[in-house]
Chain A
């Protein structure tokens, strides 16, 4: 009985592990190799023998793309967040004058918190200075392109997630407040774009946004503008494309959270003295938080590595890491560097994915 259950759980996990780990292992191995004019275009390979191959691997590609700098930025971010989470509640507790504990206790607590914070900072400084000689070669960036691409991707992902939330929340709210018999239709309308190819839909935006496109023609014929707007091949076009494509991923989880909310909660809030607006902020918004977080991650994670939208709509001005990866792989045929870029991207994505998982678990409780 127990064995059967273990087996049942083990099968899908093994499946996932094998089909995630094997490709990842291959990519990881290539990222440690060197570029070569051969088939496959890198060296060493298994043909040289297993041990020979292992000894030929190095971290050169990572140093080349500035992985150290990327990681340093990330490490600083993560440590700051962790520090903030440890220190902030204590500081806050210390600052609130609590009649039960008195001024003396509050002061003592504040001093203790300060001491803990100082010790933390000292520890981090010591660690960094100890590791600095090792990290130095990684932080020296031979080619700034990759680091810039990571940062630019991060910026585009954050801004477009925010824009999607801004547009998606009212849509989800409207759907959840619509009459019961309308909801399936509205849900259908949100899902409908998935019925055509993603590529075709993004391509359609070229027709809309280009200088001779429908949007410019419409605006010119109405007389709002006298010169056609240059939208295509700018970051604006990329944001439009991303927001359009990922909107359903934002709308659906928020709608799910709002739809199961009891309407009488808002009535109760109003009954207890809230205006319509404050009832929204105090009741509806906190209760839809799990949906908002889920939606943000569902948009943020794929956007960070997005390739199709920036390459079709963004032109040469928009640098995103997905596009860089593509160019390394197919234009430069530099598989090792492309693999290193992919591995770093995956490691960066692990943080939001882990946070997303934790949010899902909390929501289930």
Chain B
């Protein structure tokens, strides 16, 4: 997470006095019959690294293009620093965009690409050179200033695109799948570079991605979009640990979901599921009303697996169906009732040869009463 170097946690979204830089107010966007964005309201705060995450076609790119000025909302308002930017054309917005294809001008050198926006502004000529050099230094491109875009690698092109969009020091930088074209290793490195640059420049970043790992790594807040509306907007840890719906829980990472009925219990609630299964105990201060239909969600790494009956709040017995060995971790697929398969993840702290379970073994799965969450929708 991109946080300033103070002991105060960077969380303007919890501060009622903080002024958002971007406000979507009941924004709807339709293309003919198709509704791309459906009555969406969202605040983004200065210096945030905000990620829009969702499957393709969920409207995240449309949302970003509306910020850039390439689409205008059918209904509702978009405010930048309190001013409606609906009628402002892209070239007059203090917003710059880094395109998915990078959109580097093939006929211009790296230097001229970065200087392109500055030359269009009213910046004095002698300052343009300094600014470009500064951007080249920030993105470590000094050596390539004279090359044309087709003479440099994909990773370097990505950095030129970033330098070009940052050169005009925009209030808001939009990044459309910025790392999509890079291979995994380079992508991981670049994610941290992006965060560093965001911290150094203090610019507000809005990133569109379909890669959840990327969104979790770089963003201060993540918005999960589905069918043109926001499913959940929260910090990465909240999204992961406290999803507000089965959709979000399922979309982010791996999850075990059990359908059941809520029942009152001391200090929390119980979820009754299956025919002859013990209820799941959950400690919570916001129990659902008894009898409510609900889902119990728990992440595989929070489920432990053992050969003997463990002492824990929740224990179920099952048979190992499958073992996925990933090197650092192993995922066990355990059938706990006919047709109900639970995933449990363990760190491989021992060598493989000393593993105690194998296929078809009877094992016990257990988890604490605070490990999972109950979702009503």
Stretch at the interface among B75-83, B102-110, B290-298: B102-110
Chain A 255-303 interface residues, beta-carbon cutoff 8 Å to B:
262, 264-265, 267-275, 278, 282-283, 286-287
A155-169 vs B, CB cutoff 8 Å, 1 = contact: the mask equals: 000000000000000
Tally of B interface residues using CB under 8 Å: 23
Which of A264, A269, A271, A287 sits near B106, CB closer than 8 Å? A287
Q: Does B306 contact A (CB under 8 A)?
A: no
User: Which residues does chain B contribute within 8 Å of A274, judged by CB atoms?
Assistant: 91, 120
CA of A269 to CA of B119 in the docked complex: distance in angstroms?
Answer: 11
CA of A268 to CA of B106 in the docked complex: distance in angstroms?
Answer: 12
| A276 CB → nearest B CB, Å | 9
CA of A231 to CA of B258 in the docked complex: distance in angstroms?
Answer: 86
Chain B, residue nearest A268 (CB) = B103
Chain B, residue nearest A285 (CB) = B107
CA of A270 to CA of B68 in the docked complex: distance in angstroms?
Answer: 10
A267 touches B70 (CB 8 A): yes
| B151 CB → nearest A CB, Å | 11
Q: Does B20 contact A (CB under 8 A)?
A: no
Chain A 287-322 interface residues, beta-carbon cutoff 8 Å to B:
287
| B334 CB → nearest A CB, Å | 48
CA of A153 to CA of B349 in the docked complex: distance in angstroms?
Answer: 87
CA of A249 to CA of B308 in the docked complex: distance in angstroms?
Answer: 83
Q: Does B159 contact A (CB under 8 A)?
A: no
B168 touches A270 (CB 8 A): no
Stretch at the interface among B2-10, B93-101, B208-216, B243-251: B93-101
Chain A, residue nearest B121 (CB) = A273
Chain B 82-141 interface residues, beta-carbon cutoff 8 Å to A:
89-91, 95-97, 99-101, 103, 105-107, 116-117, 120-121
A267 touches B116 (CB 8 A): no
User: Which residues does chain A contribute within 8 Å of B107, judged by CB atoms?
Assistant: 286-287
B70 touches A273 (CB 8 A): no
| A66 CB → nearest B CB, Å | 43
B155-178 vs A, CB cutoff 8 Å, 1 = contact: the mask equals: 000000000110010000000000
User: Which residues does chain A contribute within 8 Å of B121, judged by CB atoms?
Assistant: 273
CA of A280 to CA of B357 in the docked complex: distance in angstroms?
Answer: 67
| B90 CB → nearest A CB, Å | 5
Tally of A interface residues using CB under 8 Å: 17
User: Which residues does chain B contribute within 8 Å of A278, judged by CB atoms?
Assistant: 120
User: Which residues does chain B contribute within 8 Å of A275, judged by CB atoms?
Assistant: 91
| B184 CB → nearest A CB, Å | 25
CA of A262 to CA of B101 in the docked complex: distance in angstroms?
Answer: 9
User: Which residues does chain B contribute within 8 Å of A270, judged by CB atoms?
Assistant: 69, 89-91
A264 touches B116 (CB 8 A): no
Which of A265, A273, A286 sits near B117, CB closer than 8 Å? A273
| A142 CB → nearest B CB, Å | 50
Among B90, B95, B121, chain A packs the most CB atoms within 10 A around the CB of B90
| A267 CB → nearest B CB, Å | 6
User: Which residues does chain B contribute within 8 Å of A273, judged by CB atoms?
Assistant: 91, 117, 120-121, 168
B101 touches A272 (CB 8 A): no
Would A271 and B101 be within 8 Å (CB), given that A278-B120, A286-B107, A287-B107 are in contact? no
| A345 CB → nearest B CB, Å | 35
Which of A262, A267, A283 sits near B90, CB closer than 8 Å? A267
CA of A271 to CA of B70 in the docked complex: distance in angstroms?
Answer: 9
CA of A275 to CA of B117 in the docked complex: distance in angstroms?
Answer: 12
Chain A, residue nearest B68 (CB) = A271
Chain B, residue nearest A266 (CB) = B103
User: Which residues does chain A contribute within 8 Å of B97, judged by CB atoms?
Assistant: 267-268, 271
B19-46 vs A, CB cutoff 8 Å, 1 = contact: the mask equals: 0000000000000000000000000000
In the complex, besides A271-B69, A272-B96, 15 extra interface pairs with C-beta distance below 8 angstroms are: A264-B99, A267-B68, A267-B70, A267-B97, A269-B105, A270-B90, A270-B91, A271-B68, A271-B91, A271-B165, A272-B120, A272-B165, A278-B120, A286-B107, A287-B106
| Chain B contact residues, CB within 8 Å of chain A | 68-70, 89-91, 95-97, 99-101, 103, 105-107, 116-117, 120-121, 164-165, 168
User: What 4 pairs across the A-B complex have the smallest Cβ distances?
Assistant: A273-B120, A272-B117, A268-B103, A264-B103
